C-alpha cells in the first residue's frame, strides 16, 4: 500500500497536470513559460538558490555580496516573477570565484522538479524565507541533495497547514533551517524538529544598514517633484485594500488640494486598474513612465516603473505603507525608515513581527486602525515635519543591535557545500 507521502504526491501531480497548461495564460506565469516547463535546459550549478520575488531577490543580493568561496562556484538563482528577475540582474557577486546564472524557477510539478534537479546537479539547494515546495523537496530527497532554508519565515497559519500532514512534511524536511526570529524558529521546530532548526538575525537588518540613504545628498526625484511641493507616498498598495486606499487618497486631496501623491501598487498588473479608476473619478493622474519634466500641478503619480520606491520615501514628507489595511501581513515599512521618514501602517503587520514591538514604543513607526486614522496621521506628519536625521539615527541604532544574519547564513551555506 502506498505511503501517506506517496499518496499526497500523487494528488499533487494530478493538481499540477491540470494547472500547468492553464498557467500559460496567467498574467505573471506566462512570462518565461518555456523556462518554467523546462523547454529550455537548466545549466549545471554547484549551488541553486530559489528566491520567490523581489523581497527574496534582495536577500540573495546580501548573500552573494557576502559569500566568499575559496574555489570557483557556479550559482544558479531562480525566481518566480519578472520583478524578481530584474532585481537579480543587478547583482554583482563580491567574489570573483562566483559564476552567477539567472533563470525562472520551474513549476513545482514533481516530475518537472526531478528533471530540473537532474539537469542542475546541485551540491546544495538554498530556499529563501518560505519557499517550501513539495516537488522540489521531494526531488532533492530522491537525489540525496542537501537543502537549506535561509531567513526562514513561517506564520501560525502556515504551521497549522503543515501540521495537518505532519508525517509528509517530516519526510520532506530540509537539511538545515535558519529561521529569521525565535517565534519563526519555534514554528519550524514544531513542524520539522529541533535538530535541524537554528535562529539567526533577520538578513533584512543587514540589507537596511547597507542601503540606508545619505540624507546629505539630493534626492533624484526632485528633478520631477520640486522640493517646495507637498508630496505623500502611498507605497506597496495591495489589491485587497484598494478601496480603502482610494478613500484615503480622496480625503488627502480634499484636505490639501495642493498635494502630489505618489501611488506605488505592490504589483505592476494593478497599474492599469488604478489609472482607469482615477480617471473615472476625475482625479488628476499621470503614469510615472510618462513624466520627464518637473510636475507643477497637484496630481496623483501612478508608479509604473520599478526601483524608485526608496527614492520616493526620501523625497516625501509622509508615507503610508500598504499590505496593512487588509489582513495581508504588511509590506516593508523599514525601507521608509532607512530614509529617515517615519511610516504610517495599518493594523496588519504579521510579516514583520520579527522587527519587534519596540519599534512602535520608540515611535519610529505610526500604527493606525483604519484608513481614516491613516489619512489623519499622514496629514499630521506633513504639517509637523520630524527631524529625519534623528529618526534615521535611531533606526540605524535599532538595526545595528540586530544585524549579523547574512554572515551566519553564508557560514552555513559554505559548511553544507563543503560537506556535500
Q: State how far the Cα of 258 lies from the Cα of 284, in Å rounded to an integer.
A: 12
Grid look-up 535546459 returns 41
Domain 220-400 class in CATH = alpha beta
Nine cell digits for residue 283: 482625479
Strands (E) across 52-142 are located at 73-79, 98-104, 124-128
Q: Cβ of 310: how many Cβ atoms within 10 Å? A: 17
Look at residue 1 in the predicted model and tell me its pLDDT: 66
Nearest-CA neighbor of 96 among 130, 69, 123, 128? Answer: 69
- The top-level CATH class assigned to 4-201+404-419 is alpha beta
Q: Are 183 and 211 in contact (CB under 8 A)?
A: no
Coil vs helix vs strand at 49: strand
Q: Can you tell me the distance from the alpha carbon of 126 to that of 107, in angstroms, rounded to the nearest whole number?
A: 17
Q: Tell me if 191 sits within 8 A of 154, measured CB to CB.
A: yes
Q: Boundaries of CATH 3.40.50.2000 in the chain?
A: 220-400
Q: Please tell me what DSSP assigns to residue 227.
A: T
Half-sphere exposure of 379 (CA within 13 A, CB side): 18
Residue 380 CA, chain-centre distance (Å), reads 29
Spacing of C-alpha 288 from chain mean position:
22
Q: Give the pLDDT score at 386.
A: 86
Number of continuous H segments (helices) and E segments (strands) in the chain: 18, 14
Q: E strands within 221-297?
A: 231-237, 260-265, 285-287
Q: What is the pLDDT of residue 110?
A: 94
Round to whole Å and give the CA distance between 285 and 9: 49
**pLDDT for 420:** 83
Strand 47-51 and strand 73-79: the pairing is parallel
Burial 15-54 (b: 16+ CB within 10 A, else e): ebeeebeeeeeeeebeebbebbbbeeebeebbbbbbbbbb
Query: Would you tell me how many other CB atoms lie within 10 Å of the CB of residue 381?
Result: 21
Residues 6 or more apart whose Cβ sits within 8 Å of residue 289 = 304, 305
* From-to residues of CATH 3.40.50.11720 in the chain: 4-201+404-419
Distance (Å, whole) CA 59 – CA 126: 12
- Angle made by CA atoms 21, 51, 158, in degrees to the nearest 5: 80
Dihedral, 375, 380, 381, 383 alpha carbons, nearest 10: 130
Beta-strand ranges (E) seen in 213-297 are 231-237, 260-265, 285-287
Please compute, for residue 406, the number of CA atoms within 13 A of its CA located in the half-sphere on the CB side: 21
d(C-alpha 285, C-alpha 244), whole Å: 18
Q: What pLDDT score was predicted for residue 68? A: 95
For residue 77, which of 109, 108, 55, 99 has the smallest C-alpha distance? 99
- Identify the residue whose cell numbers are 519578472: 82
Partners of 366 in beta bridges: 344
Residue 5 to residues 24, 140, 379, 381: CA-CA distances in angstroms?
29, 15, 55, 54
DSSP character at residue 32: T
Low-confidence ranges of the chain (pLDDT < 50): none
pLDDT of residue 8: 87
Give CA torsion, residues 6, 9, 10, 15, to 10 deg.
170
**Within its chain, how far is the Cα of 53 from the centroid?**
6
For residue 142, what pLDDT is reported?
95
Amino acid at each position: 500500500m502506498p505511503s501517506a507521502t506517496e499518496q499526497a504526491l500523487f494528488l499533487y501531480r494530478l493538481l499540477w497536470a491540470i494547472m500547468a497548461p492553464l498557467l500559460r495564460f496567467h498574467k505573471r506565469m506566462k512570462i518565461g513559460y518555456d523556462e518554467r516547463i523546462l523547454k529550455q535546459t537548466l545549466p549545471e550549478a554547484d549551488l541553486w538558490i530559489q528566491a520567490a520575488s523581489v523581497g527574496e531577490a534582495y536577500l540573495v543580493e546580501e548573500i552573494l555580496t557576502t559569500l566568499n568561496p575559496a574555489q570557483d562556484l557556479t550559482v544558479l538563482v531562480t525566481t518566480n516573477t519578472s520583478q524578481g528577475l530584474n532585481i537579480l540582474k543587478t547583482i554583482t557577486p563580491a567574489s570573483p570565484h562566483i559564476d552567477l546564472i539567472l533563470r525562472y524557477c520551474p513549476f513545482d510539478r514533481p516530475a518537472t522538479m526531478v528533471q530540473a534537479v537532474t539537469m542542475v546537479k546541485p551540491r546544495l539547494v538554498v530556499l529563501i524565507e518560505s519557499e517550501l515546495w513539495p516537488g522540489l523537496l521531494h526531488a532533492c530527497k530522491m537525489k540525496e541533495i542537501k537543502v537549506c532554508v535561509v531567513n526562514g519565515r513561517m506564520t501560525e497559519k502556515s504551521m497549522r497547514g503543515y501540521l495537518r500532514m505532519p508525517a509528509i512534511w517530516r519526510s520532506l524536511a530540509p537539511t538545515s533551517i535558519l529561521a529569521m526570529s525565535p517565534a519563526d524558529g519555534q514554528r519550524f521546530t514544531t513542524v520539522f524538529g529541533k535538530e535541524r532548526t537554528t535562529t539567526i538575525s533577520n538578513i533584512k537588518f543587514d540589507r537596511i544598514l547597507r542601503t540606508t540613504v545619505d540624507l546629505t545628498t539630493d534626492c533624484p526625484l526632485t528633478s520631477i517633484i520640486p522640493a517646495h511641493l507637498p508630496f505623500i507616498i502611498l507605497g506597496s498598495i495591495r489589491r485587497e485594500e484598494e478601496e480603502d486606499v482610494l478613500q484615503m487618497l480622496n480625503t488627502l486631496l480634499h484636505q490639501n488640494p495642493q498635494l502630489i501623491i505618489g501611488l506605488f501598487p505592490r504589483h505592476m498588473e494593478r497599474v492599469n486598474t488604478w489609472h482607469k479608476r482615477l480617471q473615472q473619478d476625475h482625479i488628476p493622474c499621470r503614469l510615472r513612465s510618462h513624466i520627464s519634466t518637473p510636475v507643477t500641478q497637484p496630481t496623483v503619480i501612478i508608479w509604473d516603473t520599478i526601483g524608485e520606491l526608496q527614492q520616493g520615501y526620501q523625497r516625501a514628507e509622509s508615507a503610508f505603507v500598504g499590505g496593512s489595511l487588509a489582513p495581508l501581513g504588511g509590506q516593508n515599512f523599514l525601507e521608509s525608515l532607512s530614509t529617515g521618514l517615519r511610516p504610517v501602517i495599518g493594523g496588519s503587520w504579521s510579516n514583520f513581527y520579527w522587527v519587534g514591538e519596540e519599534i512602535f514604543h520608540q515611535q519610529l513607526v505610526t500604527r493606525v486602525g483604519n484608513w481614516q486614522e491613516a489619512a489623519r496621521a499622514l496629514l499630521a506628519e506633513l504639517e509637523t515635519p520630524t527631524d529625519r536625521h534623528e529618526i534615521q539615527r535611531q533606526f540605524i541604532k535599532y538595526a545595528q543591535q540586530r544585524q549579523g544574519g547574512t554572515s551566519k547564513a553564508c557560514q552555513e551555506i559554505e559548511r553544507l557545500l563543503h560537506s556535500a
